[in-house]
Amino acid sequence: MAGKSGRTINATPQNVWRKRILSWEGVLIVILAVVLVLCRAMSATYTLENVLREMPKYLAEMFLMLPMAFILMMGEIDISVGSIVCLSGTLGCFAVNAGMPFPVALLIMLGTGLICGAINGAIIVIFPELPSMIVTLGTQIIFRGIAEIMLGGGGSIAAKNADGFRAIGKSLGIVPIVFFLVIISGAIFVIISTKMKFGRELMAIGSNRLTAFYSGVKVKKVLFISYVTMGAFSALCAIFFTAATYGANTTTGKGFEMDAIAMAVFGGISSTGGKGKMIGGILSAFVIVCLRIGLGQKNVNSQVILLIIGILLIGAVLLPNISARISANKKKAIS
Amino acid sequence: MKKKLLSLLLCATLAAGALAGCGGGGSTTDTGSKSSSESKGGDSGKKQYAIVPKSAGNPYNEKEVEGFKAIIEANGGEAVVNYPQDATADAQITVINSLISQGVDSIAVAANDENALQSVLEDAMSKGIKVSCLDSSVNADSRQTFANQAGVKEVAQALCDAVYDISGGSGDWAILSASSQATNQNAWIEAMKGIMADDSKYADLNLVEVAYGDDETQKSTDQTQALLANYPNLKVICAPTTVGVAAAAKVVQDTGATCRVTGLGLPSEMAEYIGKPDSGKSCPYMFLWNPIDLGKLSAYISLALVDGTITGAAGDTFEAKELGVTYTITEAADGGTEVILGAPFEFNPDNIEEWKTVY
Amino acid sequence: MQKRELSLVIVLVLLIAVVSFVNPSFFTIDNFLDILKNNVVTLIPTLGMLMVLLIGGIDISIASTMALAGMVVGLLFKYNKIESTLLAFIIALAIGAVCGCLMGTIIGLGNVPPIIATMGGMYIFRALAYIVGDSQWAGAEALGNYKDFALKNICGVNVTIWITLLCYILFFILLKWTKFGRNIYAVGSNAEAAQISGIKVARVKIAVYTIMGVLCGLTGALNTSIYASAQPNSLTGKEMDVIAACVIGGVSMSGGRGTVAGSLLGGLVLAVIAKALPLIKIPAIAQNTIKGVLIVVVIIVNVITQRMMNKRALARREM
């Protein structure tokens, strides 16, 4: 019997579980290779240089995927992150334009993210009766609303002195700086989720919150820390996104939450909690990004790109389930 | 083990299928990509002129694209049309990045935000791509020139006169705009306020409120109803946005209020509401420019920029053959340059039948 | 009436009282009818979402399904393929049913988590709406008689409100007094127990998502008629309003708990907030912030009142 997500099996021995999960990462690597080869074959302009040049905007979104994966693993969700990106970017630009030194502006952006994350975390911890989706829906409207009020009639702000952001957006050779940062953060998140107590506690909460609580996991603390981390990484996303826009407007970051969730989910991280691996999320993020860049270069209608991503999302979970059912039926037939 | 292999295989085929499918799917759904792949294959050396509209699935934008394509193709170029996923600057950045990778010769963009495209458009210009705007502009640093559909002053003046005329010269009136952040709408509203303050002719007109419907039909409807409820003596609602004016006209016509609606709207959307004063229709007349011509103007600008006829500096001239006009580039208010298409066009009960089928 | 609903009624009455005090024109029958009519597109799918949430699922593809159905109907009128309003509704309902059934099958038989399946559906159906639309809208004129449907009044009340009312009565009966309704609650409370006790869980799931789809089709068709306009990007983000309406109405997102009355109240709270903001002359630019704050405040107040009620109930028991 398949588990909630259908992809993993709950009550089987550890090593089998590991193998199964590993296999999904294996599949993702194969898909990534297929995507790269096919895109290269279809489009002459799909060169390493071009792909890396188009990547920073998507890389910024990957910062959101990492803590989002943690939150999803606990069976929670945060749909306010796009708005946090917007608010943090807006405040950063205001700070730069007010003549503050660039590092101070960065601290303000980071602080904004932390505060927003803390607000989400606090409401969710104090009122456990409220589903996180509805809480973060409320704050989603509020955070973007505050940015709207600050931006006023124009609805848009440009950093008058964009040198700092320009420096952040630079590349080492052809590889953007943010690429290295994403890889480093990804590695840290992988280590936390696999080697550290915090990662195991996340999984325990996701599998069964009550059991986790009774076995001594400080559920509220873990939840709160996760949401604050989410806020901080939203700010990080805002910083690197602003490095690509030199400004912010009222639609900045709209829909980022869905992109981040899609990346995590396609990577095998279940939204029902307790399942998935960080590395899968990172791999799937690259699959989606490389695919989007390739399709974009072929001028495929952006709605068709969404259609394909929709089919991939469903197919990625559906097909293994179907194959599992087929092999299970076979086994039954043999015995 | 078998299961693992099987699912691996299935997923790989799925990805391959999706990709192969969109190779074909892309060319059927988007003629831009079809011609692009053809030219790549044949390596005909055709110049590629790209246009990035504000959003997909909007007939107004589609008409701009239509005009743009017609002129580019008539002049032996290849039009690359690339729609952003949403009506946001974020989505346009993705699209423009991709166009830079493809190495197009020019990009014409109807910007969703004045500033956010600066970095990517500077990048494009540094790679020798000619950048111009149409419909709504980016800041002066990020463009070479701008195909402006109608000068801000002309639009504002036309709307002020309409309000004056419809209200009979005095009374309460209100504005229903798009979002509070919409660049064009805000410029027009500011200019209208300026005109009304400067001329004593408008002294008896009282602007009671500027409401925002965010270009969503439902919200625009809510806002119109609120205006009618809050100001029973309201004489005119002026909505300088296509979604807003249609929603307002519908509410007023359905409720049978004495208030009248004018503004900027698409003839095909507004035909139902435009009529003579005593016909029970809610909109006596309204304005718009011709988006097809705007697309054509933008195409001529792209062509001229690429072949070096113009550089985008004020004083440059170029001929728009099909429009029958020789345009001169002028200084714009924001420090950049622009080309103004012409005065806004009035749609009234006499000509609406003819225009509603055009766009 | 249950406590949960009672606390919500208090919140709603308070809200209406405050707004009416600031602007008396709010407290008129016409205004309340306007509120209902403008929110038909939230109130009807709320019923479907209630069922989906009751079986422990979620559906974020609904707004895309509505847009697709509305778009197809609009285009059929535009290109003079159909003229009958009834036929238009049947087509829209069928499109919704197909979309919903597809989602239900993927979730019920394919064991795909609902949020993943419907997130995929959200992208797919929205893309289809754009593709069938091919950059065309159907405007008021193209819709001919169809747009007059939503203008009709029966006994002084708009026909769309009657349809909504009918849906609510039907679903009230369905969930309260039929076997199917009990099965839904059973699946939501404990799917495994339901399976063991002979309920075909997968079938219930498919049925629920199909019903959700049908309601989306209906909503899409009504939306095109009410606003006399079909656009591919219409109703974007509506799914969040609908989920919010349910949750405010006390429907549990983990399944098994929630009532028709509750979700109606939740939808009304949102509707009143949306209508009240421009009437009490909140500056346009701050309206979104206030809306967000109000939603958060309402759900928190609701939780606190419930906690207090529970405590009082416990105290009474101790005595």
Instruction: Reply yes or no on whether the pLDDT at C137 is more than 90.
Output: no
Query: Does A8 have pLDDT greater than 50?
Result: no
On whether both B280 and B297 belong to a single domain, the answer is no
Residue among A39, A255, A319 minimizing CB distance to B14: A319
Q: Which of A4, A303, A318 sits opposite C110 (nearest CB)?
A: A318
What pLDDT is stored for residue A23 in this prediction? 64
Do residue B91 and residue A326 have CB atoms under 8 angstroms apart? no
Contact A45, B36 (CB under 8 A): no
**Could you tell me whether strands B145-148 and B171-177 are parallel, antiparallel, or unpaired per DSSP bridges?**
unpaired
C236-277 pLDDT per residue, tens: 888 988 999 998 888 888 888 889 999 999 999 999 988 888
Q: What is residue A272's predicted lDDT score, i.e. its pLDDT?
A: 67
Neighbours of C, requiring at least 3 CB pairs below 8 Å, are: A, B
Torsion sign across C-alpha atoms C50, C54, C58, C59: negative
The mean per-residue pLDDT over the stretch C163-169 comes to 95
d(CA C126, CA C115): 16
What confidence tens digit (pLDDT) does each residue in C187-205 have?
Answer: 988 888 999 988 999 999 9
Digit-by-digit pLDDT tens for chain B (359 residues) are: 445 545 555 555 555 555 444 444 333 333 333 333 333 333 457 899 999 998 888 888 888 999 999 999 999 999 999 999 888 888 999 999 999 999 999 999 998 888 888 889 999 999 999 999 998 888 888 899 999 888 888 899 999 999 999 988 889 999 999 877 677 888 899 999 999 998 888 888 999 988 888 888 888 888 898 899 889 899 999 999 988 999 999 999 988 888 999 999 888 888 888 888 778 889 999 999 888 999 999 999 999 999 988 988 888 889 888 888 888 898 888 888 999 888 888 898 888 888 887 77
State which amino acid sits at residue B274.
I
Residues of A in contact with B83 (CB under 8 A): 301-303
pLDDT digits (tens, 9 = 90+) for A81-131: 999 999 999 999 999 999 999 999 999 999 999 999 999 999 999 998 888
Contact C185, C54 (CB under 8 A): yes
Q: C317 at the B interface (CB within 8 A)?
A: no
**Which token pair is B272?**
């139902």
- Token pair, residue C263, equals 């979700």
* Residues B59 and B182 both lie in one domain: no
Q: Please give the average per-residue pLDDT across A13-26, as a whole number.
A: 60
Q: Residue A127: which of C113, C292, C303 has the nearest Cβ?
A: C303
Choose among C23, C201, C197, C205: nearest CA to C106. C205
- Domain CATH number, residue B259: 3.40.50.2300
Least Cα separation, residue B213 to chain A (angstroms):
14
Average pLDDT over residues A236-250: 90
Least confident of A49-63, A259-273, B297-311, C175-189: A259-273
Q: Which residues are paired to B238 by β-bridges?
A: B175, B262
**Distance to chain C for A180, nearest Cα, Å:** 30
Supply the pLDDT for residue B345.
86
Q: What is the mean pLDDT of residues A9-13?
A: 47
From the CB of residue A174, how many other CB atoms can be counted at a distance below 10 Å? 13
Is residue B352 one of the residues assigned to a domain?
no
**pLDDT (0 to 100) of residue B144:** 92
Chain A residues with beta carbon closer than 8 angstroms to that of C292: 138-143, 145
β-pair type (B337-340, B145-148): parallel
User: What confidence score (pLDDT) does residue B23 get?
Assistant: 43
Best to test chain C binding among A318, A319, A326 (most C CBs inside 10 Å) = A318
Q: A22-27: list long-range contacts, CB under 8 Å, 24+ apart.
A: A23/B4, A23/B7, A23/B8, A24/A268, A24/A280, A24/A320, A25/A268, A25/A277, A25/A279, A25/A280, A25/A283, A26/B4, A26/B8, A27/B7, A27/B8, A27/B11, A27/B12
What CATH code is carried by the domain that includes residue C66? 1.10.3470
Inter-chain CB proximity B4 and A26 less than 8 Å: yes
Predicted local distance difference test score (pLDDT) of residue B65: 93
Domains: count for chain B: 2
Candidates B279, B286, B282, B281; CA nearest to B262 is B286
Give the best residue of B3, B104, B137, B177 to mutate against chain A (max A CB count within 10 A): B3
C289 touches chain A (CB under 8 A): yes
Residue partners of C247: CB distance under 8 A and separation at least 6: A130, A131, A133, A134, C253, C266, C299
Angle, helices A278-297/A56-73, rounded to nearest 10 degrees: 150
- Mean pLDDT taken over chain A: 86
Nearest chain B alpha carbon to A46? B101
Spatial CA neighbour of A153 closest among B188, B92, B230? B188
Whole-number CA gyration radius for chain A: 21
pLDDT at C168: 95
**Alpha-carbon distance A168 to nearest alpha carbon in chain C (angstroms):** 32
Q: Which positions in chain B touch C229 (Cβ < 8 Å)?
A: 217, 246, 269
* Per-domain boundaries in chain A: 23-35+46-317
Pairs across A and C, CB distance < 8 A: 137
Q: Which of A179-183, B81-85, B118-122, C281-285 has the highest mean pLDDT?
A: A179-183
Rounded to the nearest integer, the mean pLDDT of chain C is 89
CB-based contact, A272 to chain B, within 8 Å: no
The pLDDT of residue B248? 93
Q: What is the CATH number of domain A23-35+46-317?
A: 1.10.3470
Answer whether C133 touches B (CB < 8 Å): yes
Question: Would an 8 Å CB–CB cutoff place B333 in contact with chain A?
Answer: no
DSSP notation for A100-166 = --HHHHHHHHHHHHHHHHHHHHHHHHH-TTS-HHHHHHHHHHHHHHHHHHHHGGG-EEE-S--HHHH
Look up the domain containing C145 and give its range. Answer: 3-313
Q: What is the DSSP letter of A267?
A: T
Cβ(B149)–Cβ(B289) under 8 Å?
A: yes
Nearest C-alpha in C relative to A305: C127
**What's the structural domain count of chain C?**
1
Of A139, A143, A313, Cβ closest to residue C116:
A313
Q: Which domain holds residue B279?
A: 152-288
- The minimum CA-CA distance between B134 and chain C, rounded to whole Å, is 19
User: Does residue A71 surpass a pLDDT of 90?
Assistant: yes
Q: What percentage of chain C reaches a pLDDT higher than 70?
A: 98
Query: Percent of chain C at pLDDT above 90?
Result: 49
pLDDT of residue A19: 59
Amino acid at A29: I
Residues B295 and B284 in one domain: no
For an interface test with B, the pick among C153, C227, C280 (most B C-beta atoms closer than 10 Å) comes out as C227
Q: Quick check: is C224 in a domain?
A: yes
Residue B356 belongs to some domain of the structure:
no
CA-nearest residue to C38 within chain B is B218
B57 and B138 share one domain: yes
Inter-chain residue contact A307 with C127, CB threshold 8 Å: yes
Return the residue in B39, B101, B121, B142 with the most chain A beta carbons within 10 A, the one to mutate for interface testing.
B101
- pLDDT of C47 reads 95
Interface contact flag, C279 B229, Cβ < 8 Å: yes
The encoded tokens of residue C169 equal 């009565």
Query: Measured between alpha carbons, how far apart are the two ends of chain A, in Å?
Result: 17
Q: Residue B153: what pLDDT?
A: 86
Whether C112 and A317 lie within 8 Å, measured CB to CB = yes
A54, B98 contact by CB (below 8 A): yes
- pLDDT bin (cut points 50, 70, 90) of residue C97 is very high
> Which chains share 3+ C-beta pairs under 8 angstroms with B?
A, C
